[in-house]
Chains A and B, each alone.
Chain A
Amino acid sequence: MNKTLLIFRHEFLYTIKRTGFIILAFALPILALLGIGVFHIVSGITKPPTEVTRIGYVDEAGGFDQFTTQGNITLVRFDTQEAATQALITKDIKEYSVIPEDFISTGIIKRYVMQRELMPPPTTMTAIKNFLTSNLLAGNVPTTTVERIAAPLNLVTTTLTATGVVAPEQGGYGNFVIPAVFAVLLALAIIFSSTYVLQGLGEEKENRLMEILLSSVSTRQLITGKVLGIGAAGLVQVVVWVVSIPLLLNLASSSIGGFLSTIKIPAGFLALGVVYFILGYLLFAVLSAGVAAISGTVREGQGLAAIFTVPAVAPFWFVSLLMLFPDSPIWVVFSIFPFSAPVLVMLRIGLTGVAAWQLAISIAVLMLSIIGGLLLVAKLLRTYILMYGKRPDLGEIIRNLRSA
């Protein structure tokens, strides 16, 4: 068998047997299945609250005597505050509020409860608000207008394509969830896989196995076999996710519904995910090999690798800015910058989409970076892979690269 293939096979099998690899590959599908299972168990044993809650009120302002049923909350009128307090103590009511005489001018409602709370429950707030509004407007405007004032807006947005027809992807959180989750996994897969390259080469250098390997194979065969072997293992991870995401989504959507049924996988997203994994991984793996070559120990190499792993995860730090200003030209620049491209492109696909020309440039720049990285790293490897001891400084590396 070809020696590159032998190294490929060894690295692939060695990587997929790693505990960290197995956990990362199957954590998402298993957790999602568990989540769906737990939902069914919990929803099976928990009944939705149907009991009517009674809350009291004392109307000192006068005129608040209609609309006392607000959803599951019934408002019970008391003539005096003492009577309301007594009812609260005997747990006849859950809480009560006093509408003071000067409510119209101040807007103040005094609320009394028996238990400390962080803030008033939103359902109670809404019930009291609607009760007050309805009574204030009663007789002045039609009933339908009262209802509209209580819930003035139900915004339904439709995204149109350039030709004016309804777009297949309508955006929103439903469109963003999968790319966002996938971007996290992609970043993890790229970083873990390239770390395996760094660890593998670093250990072989640290263990002095490198010389034995190089007495049997060439540096090119060693690096090619290793990078592709570990990359193939990483690809298995990505494929597990790419296959399981639609299946899990269908399962969750049909069995749970709600928000989950609005989640959509953007068109071409999974294919782009695979493309960006392959390119992102190759770039990081090649650079990891270079870092391993110049580092004396694995630990030292991992410290150095932060130079390019930090930009890879940096898009996550700015995700809120990305959501607020998705069209800023800065994102276009960083979608082309090869280190941040894989994660940022995934996130942007979920938010607003990425123009085809940007994708083309981003992919082309990534490819060129990989080729440039390969040429640079090949020189580094030849020069430093068998040098032990002190790590060369940048000036020394540049001098050696020039003379190589």
Chain B
Amino acid sequence: MLAVDVSHIVKSFADNVAVDDLSFSVAQGEIFGLIGPNGAGKTTSIRMMMDIIKPDSGDVTILSEKLSEASKNKLGYMPEERGLYKKQTVIDSIIYLASLKGMDKHSAEEKADELLNQIGMLPHKGKKIEELSRGMGQIIQFIVTIIHDPELVILDEPFAGLDPVNTELLKRMFTDLRNQGKAVVLSTHQMNEVEELCDRILMINHGRSVLYGNLTEIKSSYRSHSVILDFEGELGEVPGVIEKRTHKGYVELVLDENTTPKQVLERLVSTGIVINRFELATPSLNEIFLEVAGKNHE
């Protein structure tokens, strides 16, 4: 069963087409990255998935059905802009928002205690939201998102404004969700964050899909025929290398069509230099995006 199936959705605001014929699907047990620059149409797409706004055309199916009051209870959503009832206590806020997801008070309180304890925030449960730091508030928001054990979790810019410690904490929790078989949709413009987390991605720009598929496969397809080398010693001519690009701390060797990285490694070892790092040069998602966006622009 697909967690999300989006088919040809279009949404315009006045004269601006925010989302233009977008289609994608998310399977259960995967972390799916919805990536693109600011204003690409990510949040609008998510709001259509959540049935907060209606698409002008196209279909959205969540957990194999149109979103209904009952199926909304199977979703967890953490929007980009975060907020909770400032005057309410942490526990009251969690219980109220969990009750809107169909949980009864007793189980919500029990689960809240468990999650707060897990992240070391149990002593703060009686505090008002306004007394918490921004980072702590975001963690509480994440607890609100997952407390009802949703089958699909949608997170819009989850790392925005978080310190490295809390970022790591969230990443660990996302991975745990995937391991539990949940589908996680992670929308962000920080492409480096998704590289280590996502199984598949959809890259959008100006509301249109520009890249879609398995992250490893996408990166492989954009891989240039070159290797990264960090070494000590004198590097002379290496057969099969047609160009040397010097970067800070490493050299990128561009290979000719008939030479494999394995052959170059053997040749380098035979020259007697000390090799500290040797790896296939894979472009970052950011570089891939710039290349794709550039092509589209042309």
Contacts and interface: CB of A to CB of B under 8 A. Distances in A.
Secondary structure at the B interface, as helix, strand, loop or mixed, is: loop
B100 A7 contact: yes
A386 B99 contact: no
B82 to A, nearest CB: 6
A89 interface: no
B48 to A, nearest CB: 12
Interface in B181-212: none
A211 B84 CA distance: 11
B123 to A, nearest CB: 24
Interface stretch (B72-80, B257-265, B269-277): B72-80
Interface in A211-228: 211-218
Contacts of B84: 207, 209
Contacts of B86: 203, 207
B77 A212 contact: yes
A216 B101 contact: yes
Interface in A188-211: 203-204, 206-209, 211
Contact of B100 (A3, A203, A206, A388): A3
B100 A211 contact: no
B85 to A, nearest CB: 7
B69 A218 contact: yes
Contacts of B132: none
B66 interface: no
A3 B69 contact: yes
Contacts of B101: 216
Given A208-B83, A209-B84, A386-B47, A6 B52 contact: no
A211 B79 contact: yes
B96 A208 contact: no
B235 to A, nearest CB: 55
A215 B77 CA distance: 7
Nearest to B156: A211
Contacts of B85: 203, 207, 209
B81 A211 contact: yes
A258 B47 CA distance: 67
A110 interface: no
Given A208-B79, A208-B81, A386-B47, A214 B96 contact: no
A219 B73 CA distance: 16
A6 B83 contact: no
B97 interface: yes
B40 interface: no
A215 B75 contact: yes
Contact of B52 (A204, A207, A215): A215
A1 interface: yes
Nearest to A7: B100
Most buried by B among A1, A6, A216: A216
Given A208-B79, A386-B47, A215 B96 contact: no
A299 interface: no
A10 interface: yes
B96 A212 contact: no
B47 A216 contact: no
B50 interface: yes
Interface in A53-87: none
Contacts of B73: 216
A206 B84 CA distance: 10
B10 interface: no
How extensive is the interface on chain A, given as a class? 20 to 34
Interface in B78-111: 78-79, 81-86, 96-97, 99-101
B53 interface: yes
A6 B100 contact: yes
Nearest to A17: B87
Given A211-B52, A386-B47, A216 B83 contact: no
A1 B77 CA distance: 21
B144 interface: yes
Interface string A132-158: 000000000000000000000000000
A215 B99 contact: no
Nearest to B54: A382
A353 B79 CA distance: 55
A214 B100 CA distance: 10
A6 B72 CA distance: 15
B155 to A, nearest CB: 12
B52 A386 contact: yes
Nearest to B50: A215
A211 B53 CA distance: 10
A396 to B, nearest CB: 9
Interface string B113-141: 00000000000000000000000000001
Contacts of B96: 6, 10
B83 A209 contact: yes
Contacts of A10: 96
A208 B71 CA distance: 22
A204 to B, nearest CB: 8
A381 to B, nearest CB: 12
A214 B50 contact: yes
A7 B53 CA distance: 21
B47 A207 contact: no
B77 A386 contact: no
A211 B72 CA distance: 13
B52 A214 contact: yes
Contacts of A215: 50, 52, 72, 75, 77, 79
Contacts of B82: 208
Nearest to B98: A216
Contacts of B77: 211-212, 215
Contact of A212 (B47, B69, B79): B79
Nearest to B44: A386
Given A207-B86, A212-B79, 4 more contacts: A209-B85, A212-B144, A216-B100, A217-B72
30 contacts: A1-B99, A3-B69, A3-B100, A6-B99, A6-B100, A204-B83, A206-B83, A207-B83, A207-B84, A208-B82, A209-B85, A211-B50, A211-B77, A212-B77, A212-B79, A212-B83, A212-B97, A213-B97, A213-B100, A215-B50, A215-B75, A216-B97, A216-B100, A217-B69, A217-B72, A217-B100, A218-B69, A386-B47, A386-B53, A388-B81
Interface of A: 1, 3, 6-7, 10, 203-204, 206-209, 211-218, 386, 388
Q: Which 5 A-B pairs have the closest CB atoms?
A: A207-B83, A208-B81, A215-B77, A211-B79, A216-B100
